[in-house]
């Protein structure tokens, strides 16, 4: 057991796109777990788009990260000391204190995960918050019906790849994905279960969507906002549903981006646009976990990971994810120090 643990702190609040100067890596003593606590050696860290919002000093559904304090985020790791009877030494746990090598965690906020079902890091992706986001969005927020045409933006990302699989399981006849660049677009169709792919970086998003969805779109799963939302509204069929999951095209904006200029179509087309936060849909977690375990077993829930090694590369992984360096879930893998 090393005496110190490295952790990543928010050194200053970013304006626009964050840079490595907004973060610091600090050595701190490895903590001692108190009553009801566990010490976890983190093995995998998650970096997620919502963390960008927490770097702003702004009111939101989660409090801002504090300056000079370690960042937080999903992590899985091994319990190396335990003062909690129900969490044994050696267990693999999912918990919210990532961005550091060792974490003292309240056992009540940790969950022992079953690595017989899937590798530990899958609980940061397909079997965790990411998977439940896709499921809640398409099962409840913008329910997919048998035969629907479904459009997913951010299609080659963590949530997007699972959304395509979930849409098919819920009966979608056609799933169209949009991602940045020809390689990602190719992989959408070849590997990630999409029936048609759009490379939004090639331009003419409206034209590409019209070509991919000649009969219109029934459900849009929006990870991006901006031009994607506007194009989707144009393409929606009557009684169409939109799950507004994220708006990553605006996360680094320094002035409010303009809204879609075609909202009047909501009226004639009787559209529903509904925003959601995955945390409000925890009641679906057990149902999704059971379905996902079965889909993993039968091979119909394939997922993708981009793995970056080492705590010192966590910031670069986060910044890269915001720019599209990832395909599937962006993860940081930590190995035990001698
Ligand atoms: P992700 O898609 O794995 O990673 C982010 C992706 O965003 C990048 O790979 C990049 O892909 C894309 N991107 C970046 N800038 C873009 C732009 N200007 N236009 C279009 N695409 C852009 O991340 P994720 O974890 O799966 O999250 C996806 C979305 O879901 C995010 O908006 C996130 O905030 C949201 N989310 C919401 C909830 C909720 O509870 N509502 C929960 C989880 C996630 P390209 O290379 O294709 O550009």
Residues 52 and 195 in one domain: no
Does position 330 have pLDDT exceeding 70, yes or no? yes
CA of 230 to the centre of ligand 1 (A): 17
CA of 220 to the centre of ligand 1 (A): 14
The pLDDT score that the predictor gives to residue 95 is 98
Residue 48 lies in a domain: yes
Closest by Cα among 92, 129, 168 to 288 = 129
Residue 248 lies in a domain: yes
The pLDDT score that the predictor gives to residue 297 is 94
Q: List the domain range (segments joined by +) for residue 91.
A: 4-124+304-333
The pLDDT score that the predictor gives to residue 337 is 65
In this structure, which residue's CA is closest to atom 33 in ligand 1?
Answer: 246
Residue 11 lies in a domain: yes
| pLDDT level of residue 338 (50, 70, 90 thresholds) | very low
Q: What is the mean pLDDT of the chain?
A: 97
Residues 120 and 58 in one domain: yes
Cβ neighbors of 204 (< 8 A, separation 6 or more) are none
The pLDDT score that the predictor gives to residue 1 is 87
Does position 92 have pLDDT exceeding 70, yes or no? yes
Residues 137 and 201 in one domain: yes
CA of 133 to the centre of ligand 1 (A): 12
Residue 268 lies in a domain: yes
**pLDDT mean over 88-105:** 98
In 83-159 the beta strands, taken as DSSP E runs, fall at: 92-95, 102-106, 111-112, 149-153
Does position 159 have pLDDT exceeding 80, yes or no? yes
Residue 297 lies in a domain: no
> Could you give the percent of the chain with pLDDT greater than 70?
99
Residues 256 and 156 in one domain: yes
User: Mapping DSSP to helix (H, G, I), strand (E, B) and coil, where does residue 222 land?
Assistant: strand
Structural domain count of the chain: 2
Residues 99 and 139 in one domain: no
Residue 116 lies in a domain: yes
> Could you give the percent of the chain with pLDDT greater than 90?
98
CA of 93 to the centre of ligand 1 (A): 25
Q: What is the pTM of this model?
A: 0.98
Residues 133 and 104 in one domain: no
Residues with CB under 6 A from ligand 1: 48-50, 130, 133, 154, 156-160, 179-180, 184, 223-224, 245-246, 248-249, 276-278, 321, 324, 326, 330
pLDDT in tens, 261-316: 999 999 999 999 999 999 999 999 999 999 999 999 999 999 999 999 999 999 99
User: Which atom of ligand 1 lies closest to the CA of 275?
Assistant: 41
pLDDT in tens, 195-227: 999 999 999 999 999 999 999 999 999 999 999
Residue in the block written with tokens 């928010």: 10
């Amino acid at each position: 057991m090393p005496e110190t643990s490295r952790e990543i702190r928010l050194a200053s609040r970013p304006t626009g796109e964050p840079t490595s100067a907004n973060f610091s890596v600090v050595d701190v003593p490895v903590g001692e777990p108190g009553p009801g606590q566990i010490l976890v050696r983190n093995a995998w860290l998650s970096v997620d788009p919502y963390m960008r919002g927490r770097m702003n000093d702004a009111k939101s559904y989660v409090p801002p990260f504090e300056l000079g304090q370690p960042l937080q985020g999903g992590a899985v790791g091994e319990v190396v000391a335990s003062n909690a009877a129900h969490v044994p030494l050696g267990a693999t746990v999912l918990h919210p204190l990532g961005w550091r090598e060792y974490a003292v965690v309240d056992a009540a906020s940790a969950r022992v995960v079953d690595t017989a079902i899937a590798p530990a890091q899958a609980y940061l992706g397909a079997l965790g918050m990411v998977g439940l986001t896709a499921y809640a969005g398409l099962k409840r927020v913008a329910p997919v019906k048998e035969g629907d045409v479904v459009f997913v933006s951010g299609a080659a990302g963590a949530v997007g790849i699972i959304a395509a699989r979930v849409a098919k399981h819920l009966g979608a006849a056609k799933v169209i994905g949009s991602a940045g660049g020809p390689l990602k677009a190719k992989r959408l169709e070849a590997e990630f279960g999409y029936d048609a792919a759009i490379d939004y970086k090639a331009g003419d998003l409206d034209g590409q969507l019209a070509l991919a969805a000649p009969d219109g779109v029934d459900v849009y799963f929006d990870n991006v906002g901006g031009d994607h939302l506007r194009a989707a509204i144009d393409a929606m069929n009557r009684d169409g549903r939109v799950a507004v999951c994220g708006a990553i095209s605006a996360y680094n904006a320094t002035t409010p981006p303009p809204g879609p200029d075609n909202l009047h179509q909501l009226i004639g087309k009787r559209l529903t646009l509904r925003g959601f936060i995955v945390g409000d849909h925890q009641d679906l977690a057990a149902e999704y976990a059971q379905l996902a375990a079965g889909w993993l077993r039968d091979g119909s829930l394939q997922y993708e990971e981009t793995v970056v090694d080492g705590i010192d590369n966590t910031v670069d992984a986060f910044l890269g994810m915001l720019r599209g360096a990832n395909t599937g879930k962006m993860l940081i893998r930590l190995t035990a120090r001698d």
